[in-house]
A and B are shown apart, each in its own frame.
Chain A
Amino acid sequence: MIVFDKVGFSYGSRPVLKDVNFSIQADERVAILGESGEGKTTVLKLIMGLQKPDSGRIWIDGEDITDKSEPELRETRLKLSIVFQEGALFDSLNVKENVAFCLREYSRMSEKEIDQKVRELLGRVGMEDAIDLMPEELSGGMHRRVAIVRSLAACEPKMFLYDEPTSGLDPVNAHNICSLILDLSRDGRGFVIVTHKMMDAIKVADRFIFFKNGVVIFDGNEEDLIKTLVPEVLVFMSDLNFDFKSSMDVEKQEG
């Protein structure tokens, strides 16, 4: 589904990705991890064709999108669904208008049908009551849920892309978002989640790709992860141990 072939990318004179190679199948659950500024979000933007690589080729669903123009990319983008960090809801539109945005833009549905569809989609994430709220009235977790629903209204994607979906959320909301991500992938549709939270990555993904200094330093499953001796990955793993320990402690206290 997604193939990166020796992809290089830089912001001005600062290289972000150097000859990156990987391929992801449509039904895979992949987590891309790395420190801030390691180009994780850039990878998602390159997949969606929002940015062009300086070198290498990018293939989506068997098509080379590297040199495609904006109108040509439209069809490719409909195969994927991206949820940006913090949701990227349109500030000037309320929840209903945000979710209905693509329906109004492209479908020939009547207002009544749109209203019905929006309510149905919001119902899937337990947000029917927030239908008339403005984005600034939503909590972080609600923001993400509306953003996920909006991306579902846009198309029937083959794969989902999530950019830091749990960043800035409390553990309960982060857990809810992880559950929603897993729910949406139950019918065999895979996803790529970009995060720096090892705990969340472990919860949802089967495959883990680590970036460091613009190159892939680790690419493997959970078993490989446990056995790895890559120092940078071990740092992330130590965070995980801490999280496990602290969450265990909380549970014990509550018990």
Chain B
Amino acid sequence: MAKPRIKELLSELQQFYVLSFDGLLGVVRKPFYSKDTFEQMDYAGAGSFVIILLVSLFIGMALSLQLSAELSRLGLKMYTGKIVGLSIIREIGPVLTALVFAGRVGSGMASELGSMILGHQVDTLRVFGVDPVKKLVTPRVVSSIIMVPALTVIGDAVSLFGGYFIAVFVSHQSAAVYWTSIRDVFEIENVVAGAVKPFIFGYLIACISCYMGLSTRGGAIGLRQTTTRAVVASFIMIIVSDFMLTRILLYLLGFSV
């Protein structure tokens, strides 16, 4: 009983890797579906913009509030900006944006592709000689790889602004000190550490969501399971890969732990 299950799991893993590889390879293979890619970028980027703004703003404010409260007890309130900046740029910003993106865009990708499978639209593409991976997966992979980093930059900026608002207007710290601390955080190591992750997260979210969507079976219940699995798997992969990437980047950028 266990053997067929293991075989099935390995086969699924293999299919996932093949899809992920082909999805990326589609970028350099003709035909190019640029219209589909721009449509996906609009859906993924413009559609997620307001949610990212809201979530980032309140996370930045909450973080600044917590730190101000704790650091003022130790008489170290002037470090609020530095810690807010470091945690937002290197860790919270990329992870938060990726989680929101997976919840909103990844689930949408999975359910859209799933309903295309159930409605035989993917089969129709194959009958017409169109490669579904090139037509459906590549545009989503490209849009995610571009839009997650773009949204992360915007989210980081808004979070820092939220932190500033709390530090200056609630915790009564100096605005100059806050922004100087933030500016000090913008060292190449920190920026690289925060900039690499969103590309990887975007790629992972698109591949997982597309794979789950294209493996949908079993009607409306199957579609519900597909969407749930896509979001859960994306969340887990974001958190796990964040830890691994953090470890690798800290090592490569010369930080001692």
Which chain B residue has the least Cβ–Cβ distance from A88? B120
Q: Once A and B bind, how many residue pairs between them come within 8 Å at the CB atom? A: 41
B123 touches A77 (CB 8 A): no
- Known interface pairs A50-B126, A70-B131, A82-B127; A91-B120 also in contact (CB < 8 Å): no
Q: CB of A74 within 8 A of chain B?
A: yes
- Assembly CA distance A45 to B120 (angstroms): 11
A149 to B205, CA, bound (A): 37
- B128/A105 in contact, CB under 8 A: yes
B121 touching A90, Cβ below 8 Å: yes
Interface residues of A in 71-94 (CB under 8 A from B): 74, 77-78, 82, 84-86, 88-91
Chain A: residues with Cβ within 8 Å of the partner, total of 20
Chain B: interface residue count, which band? 10 to 19
Residues of B within 8 A of A91 (CB): 115-116, 119, 121
Question: Does any Cβ of B come within 8 Å of A148's Cβ?
Answer: no
Is the CB of A48 closer than 8 A to any CB of chain B?
yes
- Check B120 against A84 for contact (C-beta < 8 Å): yes
Residue of A nearest to B130 (CB): A105
A78 proximity list for chain B (CB < 8 A)? 129
Binary flags per residue of A42-69, CB closer than 8 Å to B gives 1, else 0? 0001001010000000000000000000
User: Is the Cβ of A86 less than 8 Å from the Cβ of B119?
Assistant: yes
> Smallest CB–CB gap between A125 and chain B, Å?
18
A48 touches B127 (CB 8 A): yes
CA distance A133 to B254 in the complex (A): 60
Partner of B127, one of A50, A85, A89, A105: A50
Within 8 Å of chain B (Cβ to Cβ): is A102?
yes
The one of A70, A74, A84, A106 in contact with B124, judged by C-beta atoms closer than 8 angstroms, is A84
The residues of A with any CB-CB pair to B shorter than 8 Å are 45, 48, 50, 70, 74, 77-78, 82, 84-86, 88-91, 101-102, 105-106, 154
